[in-house]
Structure 1
Amino acid sequence: MLKKVFLSIFIILIGFTAFSFYLSPRLGGLISLGKDKIDRKVHKLEFNEGLQNSFDLRYEDISGREDLVLLREKFRLEQIVDSIDDQFNQVLAIQSWVQSQWEHDGNNVPDKFDAVYILEEAQKGERFRCVEYSLVARECLSALGFKIRTLGLMTKDISEVKSGGGHVANEVYLEDLNKWMFIDPQFDVIAVQGGVPLNAVELQRAIAHNERFEIINPNNTISKADYVQWIGPYLYYFYVTINGQRISVWDRIVGNKKQLTLLSKDANEPEYFQKIFKINNSYYTNSLSDFYPKIDSYN
């Protein structure tokens, strides 16, 4: 009887260990495993134009939310854009303000993922990651009535590297231009081509095909050449959460689908994020129409 009990416990432990390695080959970062550097090659990507599936991506005005009202009033966000008439330059002004609030630190994770808290900590001298630049920019622009989403970017070898394979930025919907615009709050960068702001996929195409475009960088944080070299490899996988849903540890364990990833027609679905966790909570599409919904279709 005792042997059966020990055997059962042993089998359970083996199963638990195997499942843990399946979900996280690096056991959450405890094990050093994977490539040290990302592949910096920029690939030519191909997408479908037509709608393939409806993922019900919805972007609405949430500026009346209590935490956003506090953010807007505490940091006087309306004063930053009061004298600016067009949405493009309003976004540019907010992004520049956010970027100037602290210096980048890729390892410092805040205790709370809240824009007011992060800005207050920044005033005390704390520094934060690209994740926090994106979060604060998103919340500030949401507080002003913009429709904005967090945009995750991953390199082609995201499943093979142990660090440095991901970046977080944003895309904002400009109603007066009826299009999505990519912004990178960490660097205070917006890309334009022929005077028209580019979304992330358009920026990737311009880089991969050596097309002419410019970057607008009011805070002079980086040159165009350096930014193109830096951002290019990250523009391979593009992902957003579906309607801003939070992805918990439980979601990752059971594989709840709360994310949409856009990938090229010839790309493989990524298996892991830097071998830290299995990417099993995303839908995938090759369709630009799926990933860039028409906002006015439900307004």
Structure 2
Amino acid sequence: MITSAAFAQKPGKEKLLQISQLKKTAPYDTTQQQTFPVFTYQSPEDPALKTLRDTYQLDSIAGQGSETERAIRLLEWFHNQVPHEDVRSLPVLTARYIIDTYREKKVGQGCYPLSIAMNEIFLSMGFKSRSVICFSSKYPEPDGGHVINAVYISSLHKWIYMDPQDNAYVKDEKGNFLSVEEVRERLVNGKPMYLNASANYHQVPTKKEQYLYEFMGEHMYRLICPVNSEYDSQTRSAGKLLQYVELLPPGSKDPAVDMFETSVRGNTKVITYHTNNNRVFWQLPSVENRQ
């Protein structure tokens, strides 16, 4: 299970060692050729996404203003709909099922379902978005992890980092929104970062030092994204094919024990492509966002 409650605790020597591993990673290989399919993003006019948008009146929630302002409102709204709780993932991983199950049973969800639901909400509003699965360098066991979102902002011509579990996004010293890649780079290089004041975990303000420099510093060694960003993309069922791309530092080991490696489980086939090239992994969408 991908668990993410541990960031609230001070790291021990082992966790600090994991953070140091991130700092020691070799630079990505930007000359490596792309060997995986192009990432895709479902149209907001897909019937399931349109129903999601209409059911929760997401147009009204996003409101007017810039792309970032609208994305932040959606992030905060969903953060307040379903709290984080380390429990087994639901059998159906869609935003509607996750939201409605919490409203009925008052059981929160882990960071993985939260990111999947957030991704569908962004897609339904025309944002190109990805779930980003983050693991440490620990081998052979991945030792937990965390899942966040990358949202493409066409006006900025870049992806930005967003975390529905903590209602979190990150900026630099000049107030510019940072991408997942930029957050990782600043962790490696020790550059300053600033967490939004509204970031919180169960209504307790999130501490930047613990969240970014300790927890995410440990879990940004291996980054995995689904190839196809679409409604109900992550529910595992018979006959389904799930494809992922994993970004690894050159020369690193890749545990084969987590659920995202190439395998067949319960008649669900998983194919994972691997790359050391951050540029092809973070390629920008070819089609601009719906406004």
Residue matched to 1:171: 150
Q: Which structure has greater helix proportion?
A: 1
- Report the alpha carbon displacement of residue 99 of structure 1 after superposing the two structures with TM: 1.0
| Contact residue 132 and residue 148 of structure 2 kept, 8 A | yes
User: What SS is found at the alignment partner of 1:47?
Assistant: coil
TM-score (norm 2): 0.78
Residue 269, structure 1, aligned to residue 247, structure 2: no
Structure 1 residue runs without a partner (length 5+): 1-36
Q: What corresponds to 1:9 in structure 2? A: none
- Hey, what does 1:226 align to over in structure 2? 210
- What is the aligned partner in structure 1 of residue 29 from structure 2? 48
- Quick one: structure 1 residues 123 and 291, their matched pair in 2 at CA, closer, same or farther if it must change by over 3 Å? same
Larger radius of gyration: 1
Among 16, 38, 54, the residue aligned to 1:73: 54
> Following superposition of structure 1 onto structure 2, how do residues 87-236 of structure 1 map, counting pairs within 5 Å?
87-124=67-104, 125-157=106-138, 159-160=140-141, 164-193=143-172, 194-221=174-201, 222-228=206-212, 229-236=214-221
Amino acid in structure 2 at the alignment position of 1:243: N
- Is the partner of 2:165 in helix, strand or coil? coil
Q: 1:214 to 1:72 in 2, by over 3 A?
A: same
How far apart are the structure 1 equivalents of 2:191 and 2:148?
22
Equivalent AA in structure 2 for residue 212 of structure 1:
P
Runs of 4+ in 1 over 6 A off after TM superposition: 249-252
- Contact persistence 1:51–1:289 (CA under 8 A): no
1: CA distance, partners of 2:43 / 2:141: 38
Name the SS of the counterpart of 2:40 in structure 1: coil
Following the alignment from structure 2 to structure 1, what is the Cα–Cα distance between the partners of residues 207 and 253?
A: 32
Percent of aligned pairs sharing the same letter: 21
**Counterpart of 2:227?**
242
Counterparts in 2 of 1:59 and 1:278: CA distance versus 1, 3 Å? closer
Moved more, 42-51 or 287-296: 42-51
Offset from partner CA, 1:103-142 (integer Å, 9 cap, x none): 2111142232121121112223121111121011111111
Deviation at 1:159, TM superposition (A): 2.4
8 A Cα contact 1:104 1:186, kept in partner: yes
Taking structure 1 as reference, are residues 132 and 60 closer, same or farther at Cα in structure 2, changes over 3 Å only? closer
How many residues end up aligned between the 2 structures? 255
